[in-house]
Amino acid sequence: MENQQTFNIDQAAAETQRYMTRVYGWMTFALVITGFCAMYTASSPALVEIIFGNRIFFYGIIILELVAVGALAGWVNSMSAFLATMVFVLYAALNGLTLSVIFLVYTEGSIATTFFITAGTFGAMSLYGLTTKSDLTRWGNLLLMGLFGLVIATVVNMFMRSETLYFITGYIGVLIFVGLTAYDTQKIKNMNIIGNEGTEEDKKEAIMGALTLYLDFINLFLYLIRIFGKRK
């Protein structure tokens, strides 16, 4: 009986590990798509003019991004795994179009440096979320409250245009998304349902987990680029 229990625990751990591997795989794939689209767009003056020279087109992309995320968050249970994957990939590509502005504003060297800093920080905090025995759920409300306050401060600063507030929100944003990376990783790990490996639900769980960590990575990068980025 004890051997059977040990086997079941090991089997569950192995299944969870494969699940998290799929989550990280999809997240990495989405980051590659975003990075490629951003670099390609920034290198094409015609695309830059179309996207950033036309407010209607630019805000149309933003709206499509919000619709894609909203569709995944609200209707993923009624979608097929294939459709959820396609929406996720579409969102990553659209995000690359809007994030291409980073390559127009900052030097390539500082972008590369910030990316590696982001990857290292994200990796360390995600590993912590995977391995810690502490329950990080108590972080959730604090981090979400902080994120809500950060959004308000960012919107206010769009009118104030304060450089000081801009950098303060940058540092606060880094702290919030560092914490969210660990919290979300543990939440995604615990979200996995043992025994449904390979099912439609399992595939959609992996996509939603990948989307969550993808957003954490992107936002962490955007706040770090405020600190380490060198403008052209």
Q: pTM for the full model? A: 0.91
Any idea where the domains of the chain sit in the sequence? 2-228
In this predicted structure, what is the pLDDT of residue 29?
97
In this predicted structure, what is the pLDDT of residue 194?
79
Q: Determine the 3-state secondary structure of 136 from DSSP.
A: coil
Among the listed ranges 4-13, 66-75, 90-99, which one has the minimum average pLDDT value? 4-13
CB of 96 closer than 8 Å to CB of 150: no
In this predicted structure, what is the pLDDT of residue 74?
85
CB-hemisphere CA count at 13 Å for 212? 21
Relative orientation angle of helices 200-228 and 108-131, to the nearest 10 degrees: 130
What digits encode the pLDDT tens for the residues 15-67?
889 999 999 999 999 999 999 999 999 999 999 999 998 889 999 999 999 99
Considering the chain, what is the average pLDDT of its residues? 91
In this predicted structure, what is the pLDDT of residue 3?
45
In this predicted structure, what is the pLDDT of residue 13?
80
In this predicted structure, what is the pLDDT of residue 21?
94
What digits encode the pLDDT tens for the residues 120-160?
999 999 999 999 999 998 888 889 899 999 999 988 888 88
pLDDT at 6 over 70: no
Average pLDDT of the segment spanning 80-97: 95
In this predicted structure, what is the pLDDT of residue 213?
97
Q: How far apart are CA 187 and CA 129, in angstroms?
A: 8
Residues in the chain: 232
